[in-house]
Chains A and B, each alone.
Chain A
Amino acid sequence: MFSSPHHDVAAYALGVLDEEDHEAFQRHLMTCEECQIELRELCEVPGFLDGLRRDRSNSMDDGRMSH
């Protein structure tokens, strides 16, 4: 799958970019309006996953999702 620099916005919002990529994307963000808009849209999503992670701690200790 093709990966554009703009795609890093999701990983950045989740805080999972490796250090070098994190710094690079931060610089990109300051100049890219498209990514600024997307970051605003995506920034609340990780918070919802946080709730899930805590919920999982009570039911599944290997962290796997049930299907």
Chain B
Amino acid sequence: MPVRRQLGSRFESTDTDVVLVEDLHREFGAPLLRHVRKAIGNDLQWAEDVVQETLVRAWRNAGRLQREPGLLWAWLLTVARRIVIDGRRRRGTRPQEVEPADANAVPVPDGADRALEAMIVAEALRELSPEHREVIEQTYLRDRTINEAAEILGIPPGTVKSRLYYGIRALRKVLKERGVAS
């Protein structure tokens, strides 16, 4: 595959690598950090590590991702989320235990906006069918994989995936109607 060869040759030139990751950092670093911090709370050091790791992985795939506008950003968000979930599982910590130690130390999104948004999202979830709500709760909201959730729910993994697919699409639709999601 030509892209792979191209990336392979880039691998050897360390200076170029650094520049490319820095380019990605300049363009996506700040918005990505905001998203990551929303997912993990106030551990700024960890958040920055996640962003850095995400950008390095992105650089490795950049050749394939950049053809499609907007895909790179979507992919960055997804990869960052995956790194957060892996880290959380390794640490055995759950987001419930993350508490702001010092609210003044770093800027965080406005608490009132956040509470309002959470309320709207909770309401949106309640509008979904019980099956759709259940798979969202049993996977993402509990840091469980598809297979783990399938076992707990006693249904095939493929069914969890399908329900999750229709459930997440339904959730997005409701959030759009409420003017929350774009």
Contact = CB atoms under 8 A, between A and B. Distances in A.
A29 to B, nearest CB: 8
Interface residues on A, range: 35 or more
Contacts of B35: 47
A56 B167 CA distance: 20
Contacts of A7: 158, 161-162, 164-165
B164 A54 contact: no
A51 B164 CA distance: 19
A51 B35 CA distance: 11
Contact of A50 (B39, B165, B171): B39
Interface of A: 1-3, 7-18, 21-22, 29-30, 33, 36, 39-57, 61, 63-65, 67
Question: When A and B form their complex, which 3 residue pairs have the shortest distance between CB atoms, in order from nearest?
Answer: A3-B158, A55-B118, A43-B74
Interface of B: 35, 38-39, 41, 64, 68, 70-71, 73-75, 77-78, 81-82, 84-85, 95-96, 98, 114-115, 117-119, 121-122, 125-126, 133, 136-137, 139-142, 144-147, 149, 158-165, 167-169, 171-172, 175, 180-182
